[in-house]
Amino acid sequence: MNYYSLNHKAPVVNFKEAAIRGQAPDKGLYFPERLPAIDKELIKNIEVTGEAEIAFRVIKPYVGGTIPDDALYQIVSETVNFPFPLQSITDRIAALELFHGPTLAFKDVGARFMSRCLGYFLKDEKKHVTVLVATSGDTGGAVASGFYGVEGIDVVILYPKNRVSPVQEKQLTALGKNITALEVNGNFDDCQRLVKQAFIDKDINAKRFLTSANSINVARWLPQQFYYFFAYKQWQDKQTAPVVTVPSGNFGNICAGLLAKSTGLPLGHFIAACNANDVVPSFLQTAHWEPKKAVATLSNAMDVGDPSNFVRIMQLFDQLLLQLKTTLSAESISDAATINTIKDVFDTTGYVLDPHGAVAFKAMENYLAEHQQSKGFILETAHPVKFPDAVQQATGKEVRVPEALQSLMQQPKHAIAMQPDFEMFKSYLLG
């Protein structure tokens, strides 16, 4: 399996090269040359197949022999060694809970897989790698956890000041060692812009070997397919393809689900549930792509005004908007509706949604109101404890901090304050 740049001005590379580089030299995202068909026997026998075996069989074609089977199986076993329960909320909506990993967010899967792949690829290399990552909330914590203590790799995380939750900030700033957090006085798009500029700066690249841990990296993006297969394994009505609603910011997560569907996983319609950052909903309505300055919302991990991964979604559908719209719709949900949804779901079912899950639930509820024969699941991407103010405002109850996080919350914050200025960022990297 080889990968080409979606800007079509860079050499084709294998999985190892794509994972180490992160982004192509022409600034494009890497995309697989072909989409492998999922083994029909895997789908037929999925209910009796273990999660590690499912993950191994899904990812093996994409790795293309750059990692031996025994090492790859070990990597995926360590990646998915926590639960992925599909919990019923109503008779028509379930939640795929993706917050049972070490940092209580869905990004644990991609970060754990990527860190182990890079560790394997670099174990015999003399080069020292710097992982640059911009985060709107959960990516940074997952990457920090996944790469913590990995020999030969430094991690630099840029996050927007006052736009991540207290738990998220602790996960970014309390580890130390090979993890450095930069607190940028701006929004996520500012952080992402600085990272992208660093990748094409000749001076920085002459001194540091850079790679990215955002979902632009194929080693972060591709393993996110795993839990869509785990959801289907638990889906009871195999005769009805489930509608899937994904809280969407940079669109890597939903892109992975659409990829799984494109290669043979029997999923139904997809809904991109967005907050006030409505670039994609607007595009699907108007066919006009217009990035906007990100605005702060309760569902902060989705505060993205220029989603990088949407170009991959368009490629999955051969750049044909009409074809895309047969599979994907999108809706923007306000903060007021988000709070009301958390409250209503808690009052009627006892289930506690986080703000991202609430955005997905409301979008799913609206879709099902017009499609009475459908049912499906949402992706509940983060634990409610990461958003205590919003959840307590909606439910009237304090969210208890899990024991695994209590010691972390007592650790001091270590972060370097920075303006959203590239020369300042460049000086830091060269310093």
| Residue pLDDT, tens place only, 1-16 | 999 999 999 999 999 9
- Residue boundaries of the structural domains of the chain: 83-106+221-400
Give, in words, the CATH class of 83-106+221-400: alpha beta
**Reduced to 3 states, what is the DSSP secondary structure of residue 271?**
strand
Q: What is the pLDDT of residues 66-93, one digit of tens each?
A: 999 999 999 999 999 999 999 999 999 9
Q: What share of the chain is helix, strand, coil (3-state, %, to 5)?
A: 45, 15, 40
CA 170, CA 408: separation in Å to the nearest integer?
7
Q: What is the pLDDT of residues 164-221, one digit of tens each?
A: 888 889 999 999 899 999 999 999 889 989 998 998 899 999 999 898 887 889 999 9
pTM for this predicted structure: 0.90
Q: Which residues are catalytic?
A: 107
Predicted local confidence at residue 196, as pLDDT = 87
Predicted local confidence at residue 253, as pLDDT = 96
CA 361, CA 323: separation in Å to the nearest integer?
25
Q: How confident is the model at residue 124 (pLDDT cuts 50, 70, 90)?
A: confident
Predicted local confidence at residue 150, as pLDDT = 84
The arithmetic mean of pLDDT across residues 252-259, rounded, is 97
Residues 6+ apart with CB under 8 A from 235: 86, 242, 377
Q: Are 414 and 181 in contact (CB under 8 A)?
A: yes
| Paired residues of 31 in beta bridges | 4
Predicted local confidence at residue 130, as pLDDT = 93
Predicted local confidence at residue 128, as pLDDT = 82
